[in-house]
Amino acid sequence: MRVVRPYGDTLDDGKVQLSFTLPVPDGAKGREAARKLVLSWGFKDCEVTHSHPLSADFSFYVAYGKTEASIDYDSVVADEAESDGSMDMDGVNAFIREHIGRKVVIVGACTGFDAHTVGIDAIMNMKGYNHHYGLERYPMVEAYNLGAQVPNEKLIEFAAKVKADAILVSQVVTQKDVHLRNLAELVELLEARGERRKYVLVAGGPRIGNKLAVELGYDVGFGKGSYADHVASFVVRKMVERQRS
Amino acid sequence: MQNKLHLSAERVAYARRLAEKIAEPVARFIDGHSSMTVERATLRLAGADGANPDGVPVPNLVVDQVRAADPSFLEDGVLLRYVNALVKSGSTVAELNAKIAAGFDVSSLPLGERAAIERKAAELVDRAAERIRGNRERREAKRSEWAGKNNDPLLYLIVATGNIYEDVKQATAAAEQGADVIAVIRTTAQSLLDYVPYGATTEGFGGTYATQENFRIMRAALDEVAERQKRYILLTNYASGLCMPEIAAMGALERLDMMLNDSMYGILFRDINMYRTFVDQKFSRMINAYAGIIINTGEDNYLTTSDAYEKAYTVLASQLLNERFGFQAGLPPKLLGLGHAFEMDPTIRNGFLYELAQAQMAREIFPEHPLKYMPPTKFMSGDIFKGLAMNTMFNFVSKATNQGIHLLGMLTEAIHTPFMMDRFLAVDNAKYVMNNMEGFADDVEFKKGGVVMTRAREVLDQTIAFLEEVGGMGLFDAIERGLFAEVKRPKDGGKGLEGLIKKGPTYWNPFEERLERELGISGAKGGN
Ligand code: B12
């Protein structure tokens, strides 16, 4: 058991910075409302250090609070896909040669009406991202990047056509939970065709967590700061794991 | 305009000639064609409006009816059948729209006497022209009444709640905080709709539907704030996607002041067919030009899609092409808000100097154009504190190089569409920086052969080499081969190609003729 609290300048002082908007005019009453509100969130102490009108009816606040709440750090389990144990490009290729013995086919797209290509490109394109080569560069991977705005049906058909081993899906726009609907639809379509188990199914995007992806029926989810080597390591290991089981 | 970079005027003129040469064959193609949305825009200018119970807009109903009756009818221009129906039925435009919405088919009537149709059309053209001219005059009157009250550069903020009534609240607050320009960003996927939804809307993803009613609601709200503040508030929306000219028409009718309008954005970033886009952009720009609407081009997209340092030349190349296509459509320099952006990786050593060089270069090459400068977005992260610092650098470059339209960066760019307080912090930051360095541009020059001058020359040289390459193969082929934005778009691929229309020998579009005449440009002549 290791108890932790926010750290300002002294261990356990519990200091937290906050900023927010209230739909009330700026002024003494607004500031007092802001302070009381912060206290109602369980903070023991609150100082509103700044307020400013945003319009006649809205105002902005910066506040500091002090919390006594704490967390047992040892009890925390992270939601991110395990990237620590991932192999680099050469490692992945060697692994494929040894355990799979043929090229691994990976199809990727940013689906639905989402037009953001940069994320899926970062994983798939030759050039890669941040000094991590993309899947197209992997000698033992046959990578197809279908780009953005790809309907789920089209992605599935393409995957079937090239006999893909893995499907990668990128979702960047998350407003009103469109990504959830899009991601879930792909799984439903695959299940309806009885093809879900044919593929290693990978979701990715800045607001995608592993837990969320797994809940939606994916094998894994990758968020910010993920690279082709993480994805490739996961895919090939999963393939081998499935072969064995 | 000061010349601080000592770029060779000859080289700049040569780059412009290259762009002219590239755009020339495209113009020939454009002038021989119309499209479904050009036809629908024409109908909208004539007054076609409303929707049937399934939400299909009247302009779509008319074009679809005429096409279904005989696909070759559209080669005459759709207006012929619509006006014929007006003449034959003796109804007003509003009455006819209601009938069409209720199921009446304009193509069911045989064509009547040509002279009567032309007289009626002339009346409709006059009416539209008068309304648009009225809008232009009102804008000009207000801007001169309140001259000097806007910020320089104009501070531009985006609202994007998805609900027009919520947008109004956010926009009002933004204007009260000091924004000069409010852009209502469109909902995800509207670019790919081949119709413009009808009426006020409250449901959108990452933005709000561009509809004529939404335009009207926002216009009225901003006019109200403007009267209170004694400062004209410009309204912006997006004439992009499969309905460029229709949205431009709506913008002209509802007195928008700026519209996003790029000659190639749809092709490269939304996978819309290239022929379709080139045809659509011209008519939409003619409408923008007549309405006195400043266009904003989308060069920032090249920099978010590719590496901003390496591909800086694609921005200048695109600006030159956008300028040329703009001239072809009758847009003068003062309505050409050419785009560029502060998008380099913040870890690059001397990145700030390169950004400064490129912004200054744009200013010098396009001295009369109200350049639209876009903030850092791609390298914005969840670290909002760093983000605020990056926006401060951007604000500095913008003021130091006299940009025209300054899109404010949001510290939460990587996280969500802006909160109300995010906009306030952005305006506050910009006002602080810009006031603090008011005289900087005037006072400071660059070292001969220093980082800034060298960078500007390098980008100009790369641009020229690139335009030579594009010119060598032609623009259509260059796009097909992936020279722009590292994406390949096949000539007959992409969305909307089926909506392209070859103008027949008797193509008739009196709105287009009127625009060409008033704008002093030439286009294809129909056979009549
Ligand atoms: C560039 C950009 C654009 C460009 C995209 C150009 C292109 N060719 O992709 C353009 C201008 C077209 C654009 C348009 C829009 N955008 Co945008 N855009 C951005 C921006 C600035 C950067 C995104 C980016 O490229 N990041 C760099 C890449 C490398 O990061 P990444 O995508 O996170 O990818 C990494 C990981 O997430 C992961 N990953 C991603 N995908 C996948 C897939 C797999 C399988 C795996 C394993 C991993 C993985 O790996 C990558 C590398 O580490 C962001 C803001 C920001 N700073 O994040 C907004 C942003 C994403 N956009 C946004 C919005 C709302 C839009 C629009 C809807 C706006 C509008 N109303 O028109 C439109 C969308 C239109 C559409 N149909 O989708 C919002 C999304 C808000 C939300 N959470 O819903 C953001 C956050 C901006 C904002 N604050 O409003 N955008």
SS3 string, B168-198, reads: HHHHHHHHHHCCCEEEECCCCCHHHCCCCCC
Helix (H, G, I), strand (E, B) or coil at A3: strand
Average pLDDT over residues B100-105: 97
Q: How far is the C-alpha of A90 from the C-alpha of A233, rounded, in Å?
A: 11
Q: Where are the beta strands (DSSP E) in B334-469?
A: 336-337, 339-341, 372-374, 405-407
The chain-wide mean pLDDT, for chain B, equals: 95
A113/B contact by beta carbon, under 8 A: yes
Going by C-alpha positions, the residue among B280, B247, B284 that lies closest to residue B266 is: B280
pLDDT at B146: 97
Return the C-alpha torsion angle B227, B233, B239, B245, nearest 10. 40
Phi, psi dihedrals of residue B140, rounded to the nearest 5° = -65, -40
Q: How far is the C-alpha of B349 from the C-alpha of B353, rounded, in Å?
A: 9
Distance from the Cα of A100 to chain B's closest Cα (Å) equals 33
Going by C-alpha positions, the residue among B156, B200, B158 that lies closest to residue B417 is: B158
Question: Chain B residue closest to A117 (CA)?
Answer: B305
- Residue A83 pLDDT > 70, yes or no? no
Residue range B326-374, pLDDT digits in tens: 999 999 999 999 999 999 999 999 999 999 999 999 999 999 999 999 9
The token pair at B248 is: 């431009």
User: Above pLDDT 70, what percent of chain B?
Assistant: 98
Q: How far is the CA of B97 from the centre of ligand 1 (A)?
A: 40
Question: Chain B residue closest to A62 (CA)?
Answer: B421
Residue range A108-144, pLDDT digits in tens: 999 998 989 999 999 999 888 888 999 999 999 999 9
CA contacts within 13 A on the Cβ side of B456: 26
Q: What letter would DSSP give residue B334?
A: G
- Residue A82 pLDDT > 90, yes or no? no
Hunting for tokens 């709105």 — which residue is that?
B511
Give the 3-state DSSP-derived string for B492-523, with helices as H, strands as E and coil as C.
Answer: CCCECHHHEEECCCCCCCHHHHHHHHHHCCCC
pLDDT at B528: 34
A4/B contact by beta carbon, under 8 A: no
- Residue A13 pLDDT > 70, yes or no? yes
Distance from the Cα of B9 to chain A's closest Cα (Å) equals 37
Q: How far is the CA of A203 from the centre of ligand 1 (A)?
A: 15
Beta bridge partners of B495: B272
- Residue B93 pLDDT > 80, yes or no? yes
Is the Cβ–Cβ distance between B336 and B372 less than 8 Å? no
Before B505, cis peptide (omega within 30)? no
Going by C-alpha positions, the residue among B158, B89, B164, B92 that lies closest to residue B124 is: B92
Strands A104-110 and B405-407: unpaired
**What DSSP assignment string belongs to A60-81?**
EEEEEEE----EEGGG----S-
pLDDT at B527: 35
Chain B residues lying within 8 Å of A56, measured CB to CB: 176
Q: How far is the C-alpha of B245 from the C-alpha of B247, rounded, in Å?
A: 5
pLDDT at B160: 84
pLDDT at B2: 63
- Give the atom of ligand 1 at the shortest distance from the alpha carbon of A174: 84
Phi, psi dihedrals of residue B451, rounded to the nearest 5° = -55, -45
Q: How far is the C-alpha of B346 from the C-alpha of B308, rounded, in Å?
A: 11
Q: How far is the C-alpha of B405 from the C-alpha of B297, rounded, in Å?
A: 12
Q: How many CB atoms lie within 10 A of CB B149?
A: 13
Is the Cβ–Cβ distance between A188 and A153 less than 8 Å? no
pLDDT at A120: 96
Residues 6+ away with beta carbon under 8 Å from A98: none
The token pair at B131 is: 């309304």
Distance from the Cα of B436 to chain A's closest Cα (Å) equals 21
The amino acid that residue A18 corresponds to is L
pLDDT at B437: 97
Question: Chain A residue closest to B190 (CA)?
Answer: A113
Residue range B435-491, pLDDT digits in tens: 999 999 999 999 999 999 999 999 999 999 999 999 999 999 999 999 998 889 999
Is the Cβ–Cβ distance between A23 and A57 less than 8 Å? yes
Chain B residues lying within 8 Å of A62, measured CB to CB: none
Question: Chain A residue closest to B303 (CA)?
Answer: A118
pLDDT at A84: 65
Before B53, cis peptide (omega within 30)? no
Binding pocket residue ranges, ligand 1, CB within 6 Å:
A 108, 113-120, 122-123, 129, 168-170, 172-175, 202, 204-207, 222-226, 231; B 160, 185-186, 188-189, 206-207, 269, 301, 304-305, 377-378, 380, 413-414, 416-417
- Give the atom of ligand 1 at the shortest distance from the alpha carbon of A171: 41
Helix (H, G, I), strand (E, B) or coil at A12: coil
Catalytic positions of A are 127
Helix (H, G, I), strand (E, B) or coil at A180: helix
pLDDT at A236: 97
pLDDT at B206: 79
Q: What's the sign of the alpha-carbon dihedral B84, B89, B95, B97? A: negative
Strands B339-341 and B336-337: unpaired
Q: How many CB atoms lie within 10 A of CB B165?
A: 14
- Residue B524 pLDDT > 60, yes or no? no
The amino acid that residue B98 corresponds to is A
Q: How far is the C-alpha of B344 from the C-alpha of B304, rounded, in Å?
A: 9
Among B189, B378, B421, the residue with its CB nearest the CB of A60 is B421
pLDDT at B496: 96
Q: In a mutagenesis test of the A interface, which of B168, B169, B420, B495 is the best target, namely the one with the most A β-carbons within 10 Å?
A: B420
Is the Cβ–Cβ distance between A177 and A116 less than 8 Å? no
**A 175-234 → B contacts, CB under 8 A:** 175-176, 178, 206, 224
Going by C-alpha positions, the residue among B475, B500, B75 that lies closest to residue B276 is: B500
Going by C-alpha positions, the residue among B210, B203, B218, B211 that lies closest to residue B163 is: B203
B446/A contact by beta carbon, under 8 A: no
Chain A residues lying within 8 Å of B420, measured CB to CB: 21, 54, 58, 60
- Residue B216 pLDDT > 70, yes or no? yes
Hunting for tokens 């791609």 — which residue is that?
B378
pLDDT at B522: 76
Residue range B289-317, pLDDT digits in tens: 999 999 999 999 999 988 999 999 999 99
By most ligand atoms within 8 Å of CB, the mutation choice from A118, A121, A172, A220 for ligand 1 is A172
Q: How many CB atoms lie within 10 A of CB A8?
A: 14
Q: How far is the C-alpha of B338 from the C-alpha of B260, rounded, in Å?
A: 10
Q: What letter would DSSP give residue A177?
A: G
Q: How far is the C-alpha of B314 from the C-alpha of B309, rounded, in Å?
A: 10
Q: How many CB atoms lie within 10 A of CB A3?
A: 10
**A 146-185 → B contacts, CB under 8 A:** 147-149, 173, 175-176, 178
**What DSSP assignment string belongs to B37-73?**
HHHHHHHHHHT---B-TT--BHHHHHHHHHHHH-GGG
Q: What's the sign of the alpha-carbon dihedral A204, A206, A209, A212? A: negative
User: Above pLDDT 90, what percent of chain B?
Assistant: 92
Q: How far is the C-alpha of B149 from the C-alpha of A231, rounded, in Å?
A: 54
- Residue A39 pLDDT > 50, yes or no? yes
Choice among A123-127, B125-129, B513-517 with the minimum mean pLDDT: A123-127
* A153 Cα distance to chain centroid: 23
CA angle A113, B305, B325 (to 5 degrees): 90
By most ligand atoms within 8 Å of CB, the mutation choice from A83, A92, A111, A116 for ligand 1 is A116
Average pLDDT over residues B174-192: 92
Q: How far is the C-alpha of B170 from the C-alpha of B159, rounded, in Å?
A: 7
Residue range A50-79, pLDDT digits in tens: 999 998 899 999 999 999 999 999 999 887
